[in-house]
Amino acid sequence: MLKAELSEMRLQNAKEFGEIKEQMKDMGDSNDFLKDDTWHIKKDILRIKKTMGMS
């Protein structure tokens, strides 16, 4: 009975670890997207400032 409980706990831990790993991957992808988006916004702001003669 104890072995069965340990096996069940290991299986549950592995499943939870897999889910956490997937969530971390998704967060990393989101960070990459935000970084690229922020870079494009900064470039647009600089372009507008140059057009208006502000820089």
First CA to last CA distance, the chain: 74
Q: How many CB atoms lie within 10 A of CB 39?
A: 10
Q: How many CB atoms lie within 10 A of CB 32?
A: 10
pLDDT at residue number 4: 92
Helix (H, G, I), strand (E, B) or coil at 12: helix
Closest CA to 27 of 2, 19, 49: 19
pLDDT at residue number 15: 97
pLDDT at residue number 8: 95
What is the chain's mean pLDDT, rounded?
94
Residues of the chain with pLDDT below 70 are 55
pLDDT at residue number 6: 94
pLDDT at residue number 9: 96
User: What tokens appear for 54 in the block?
Assistant: 């502000």
